[in-house]
Structure 1
Amino acid sequence: MAGLPCKLTAQLAFKAGGDVFHHLLANRPKHLSNVSPGKIQGCDLHQGEFGKNGSIIQWSYTLDGKQQIAKEMIQDINLEKKQISFKMVEGDLMELHKNMIITMHVETKGGVDFVTWTIEYELHSEENPHPLSFLNFLIEFTKDVETHIFG
């Protein structure tokens, strides 16, 4: 399993408007620590501009009760498709995984918006766990944003 490409995906209905969620994540990620302070403590720009491909941002967050850091490059923002991809360049998750890419995509089916999170990664070692708790973190974070927007 080590070195083999792996993928985890979760999709959830988002009643608060997927356009708003995509806009927040792409252009206003600093605001997300106000939306979900128990999960996200900060988002700092290290290079470039928020909302621009190639920019590097660093997240401070809490996963499984532990403070963590993730430095990510915005790899692809597609406003038309309502999709954004982040390539992990440094951080706690990189200790167990390599080549990690996190993608968030919003699509509308039958008048309902769905948020899909995909984590593509490789394990450094077969003994390392798959990032299931991180996927769950993304699901819970999405629900926090929905509650914040929708009320």
Structure 2
Amino acid sequence: MSLAGKLSTEIWVHATADKWFNLFSKQLHHVQNLTDRVHGTKLHHGHDWHHNETIKHWTCTIDGKVTTYHESIESIDEANKRITYKLFGEELEAKFKVFKAIFEAIDKDIIKWTIEYETTSEEVDPPFGFLEFVHKGSRDVDANLLKA
């Protein structure tokens, strides 16, 4: 039996909502330069970082270990400053049938990350480590966005 759920975190930030949304919708390749938690990212398939059919390969530190996964943009809602990413790859698919990360710039100084998931079995824990990764990584990114 699998378990489905959602985890979310709201983060007070100094950079504007527009700056955050612009980074994740038009300059995603810069994230690796704004936090040490992301070791590298590259295009796996496609030529445009922000096209729905493009697949990116990420290498990050999650739960204290180097983790790799693929990501593609499922949808971008410019009016609500919301982006839904689909995450997949061997490491994730061993534990999760569904894994989505949803970014929202919900106020001038608040961003929100929501993780939607469905585990492969009830023995798999919810992805608290990934939520911590996006939360702490967002803090790193915010500090660097202020410098830009």
Query: Under a length normalisation based on structure 2, what TM-score does the superposition of the two structures give?
Result: 0.90
Q: CA deviation at 1:17?
A: 1.1
Alignment of 1:65-84 (within 5 A): 65-84=64-83
- Corresponding position: 1:19 with 2:15: no
Which residue of structure 1 aligns with residue 100 of structure 2? 101
Q: CA deviation at 1:24?
A: 1.5
One of 104, 116, 120 as aligned partner of 1:120: 116
CA distance in 2 between counterparts of 1:69 and 1:35 reads 18
Amino acid at match of 1:71: H
- Distance 1:91-1:14 versus aligned 2 partners, 3 A rule: farther
Percent identity for Structure 1 against Structure 2: 29
CA distance in 2 between counterparts of 1:64 and 1:100 reads 17
Query: Under a length normalisation based on structure 1, what TM-score does the superposition of the two structures give?
Result: 0.88
1:5-29 CA distances to partner (integer Å, 9 max, x unpaired)? 2111111112211221222222222
One of 112, 135, 138 as aligned partner of 1:139: 135
Q: CA deviation at 1:57?
A: 1.0
Amino acid at match of 1:40: V
Q: CA deviation at 1:98?
A: 1.6
Which residue of structure 1 aligns with residue 35 of structure 2? 36
Aligned-pair Cα RMSD in Å: 1.5
Which residue of structure 2 aligns with residue 149 of structure 1? 145
Q: CA deviation at 1:91?
A: 4.1
DSSP 3-state at the match of 1:147: helix
DSSP 3-state at the match of 2:51: coil
1:33-55 CA distances to partner (integer Å, 9 max, x unpaired)? 11102x00112112231122222
Q: CA deviation at 1:64?
A: 2.0
8 Å contact from structure 2 (residues 84, 103) kept in 1: yes
1:46-82 CA distances to partner (integer Å, 9 max, x unpaired)? 2231122222111111112211111012101122221
CA distance in 2 between counterparts of 1:91 and 1:139 reads 23
In the alignment of these two chains, the number of paired residues is: 146
1:100-124 CA distances to partner (integer Å, 9 max, x unpaired)? 111001112xxx4211111111111
- Corresponding position: 1:6 with 2:5: yes
8 Å contact from structure 1 (residues 21, 145) kept in 2: no
Q: CA deviation at 1:86?
A: 0.8
Q: CA deviation at 1:89?
A: 2.7
